């Protein structure tokens, strides 16, 4: 498997690329990052799936506050697609643990104080946050149909009634389960598409 370091994205440093180059490795494209930042502007945000903090940093730079949920044990599908968990991503027992790199990356990006990390499972976070409500929930955790469905349900439960739930990897070739789940969730919650950017799709409930 090819070793991927966070520095691999720092190639040609045009001014426009500097902000991008500061982002850690991840699968969020520049287009998607721009779309996500727009949605997060001044908002309270809940994120499911932070990994090394690429999307978290994009969100935190724009948002008022981000609660970032990740058990930091990695997702099987991304290990297959080449995510490297070397270089400080193992705990003392040899298990994947990306939490330290995640926190370091937030600090390096200057957004550590805008992020409340929740190191745990989405289900645990849902129980803990049951009285909270967010303007925006971004779902980018495990990419199976079942997991996306469950993450999406929890996202709509924790979003304000006029809040937005956004998913990464909608209609992405490698993740048909995400596409199916998003279509099902949109139907279940009577939500329509309010924006698209790359594979990022943002849904909002139709007001009654
Ligand atoms: C695709 S990565 C997230 C990428 C990140 N949004 C970015 O921009 O780089 C998926 C993350 O979801 C986390 N994850 C998967 N299933 C989870 C679950 N049930 N609860 C909490 N975190 C989960 C994994 O540990 C992994 O870090």
Contact 45, 95 (CB under 8 A): no
The residue nearest atom 24 of ligand 1, judged by CA position, is 74
Residue 138 CA: nearest ligand 1 atom is: 6
pLDDT at 3: 40
Residue 120 CA: nearest ligand 1 atom is: 21
Predicted TM-score (pTM) of the model is 0.89
Place of tokens 């389960």: 177
pLDDT at 19: 55
Determine whether the shortest distance from the Cβ of 105 to ligand 1 is under 6 A. Answer: no
CA of 50 relative to ligand 1 center, distance in Å: 5
Distance CA 53, CA 157 (A): 24
pLDDT at 64: 98
Place of tokens 């998003």: 182
Distance CA 6, CA 26 (A): 9
Candidates 208, 57, 202, 35; CA nearest to 135 is: 202
Distance CA 114, CA 97 (A): 22
The torsion angles phi and psi of 196, rounded to 5 degrees, stand at -135, 145
Low-confidence ranges of the chain (pLDDT < 70): 1-21, 78-88, 208
pLDDT at 80: 57
Distance CA 58, CA 54 (A): 7
Q: What is the pLDDT of residues 106-133, one digit of tens each?
A: 999 999 999 999 999 999 999 999 999 9
Question: Residue 199 to residues 36, 136, 168: CA-CA distances in angstroms?
Answer: 11, 17, 6
CA of 101 relative to ligand 1 center, distance in Å: 14
Distance CA 198, CA 49 (A): 18
The torsion angles phi and psi of 22, rounded to 5 degrees, stand at -75, -15
pLDDT at 93: 80
CA of 68 relative to ligand 1 center, distance in Å: 10
Determine whether the shortest distance from the Cβ of 54 to ligand 1 is under 6 A. Answer: yes
Distance CA 72, CA 194 (A): 30
CA of 72 relative to ligand 1 center, distance in Å: 7
Determine whether the shortest distance from the Cβ of 55 to ligand 1 is under 6 A. Answer: yes
Question: Residue 70 to residues 12, 53, 124, 156: CA-CA distances in angstroms?
Answer: 31, 10, 10, 18
């Amino acid at each position: 498997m090819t070793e991927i370091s966070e520095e691999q994205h720092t190639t040609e440093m045009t001014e426009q690329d500097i902000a991008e180059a500061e982002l850690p490795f991840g699968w969020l494209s520049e287009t998607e990052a721009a779309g996500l930042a727009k949605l997060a502007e001044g908002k309270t945000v809940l994120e499911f799936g932070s990994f090394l903090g690429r999307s978290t940093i994009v969100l935190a730079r724009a948002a008022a506050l981000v609660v970032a949920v990740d058990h930091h044990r990695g997702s099987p599908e991304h290990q297959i697609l080449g995510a490297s968990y070397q270089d400080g991503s193992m705990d003392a027992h040899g298990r994947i643990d990306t939490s330290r790199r995640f926190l370091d990356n937030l600090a390096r990006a200057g957004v550590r104080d805008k992020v409340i990390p929740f190191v745990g499972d989405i289900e645990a976070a849902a129980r803990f946050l049951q009285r909270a409500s967010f303007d925006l929930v971004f779902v980018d955790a495990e990419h199976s149909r079942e997991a996306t469905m469950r993450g999406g349900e929890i996202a709509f439960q924790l979003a304000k009634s006029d809040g937005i739930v956004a998913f990464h990897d909608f209609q992405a070739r490698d993740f048909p389960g995400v596409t199916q789940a998003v279509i099902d969730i949109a139907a279940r919650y009577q939500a329509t598409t309010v924006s698209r950017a790359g594979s990022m799709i943002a849904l909002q409930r139709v007001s009654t």
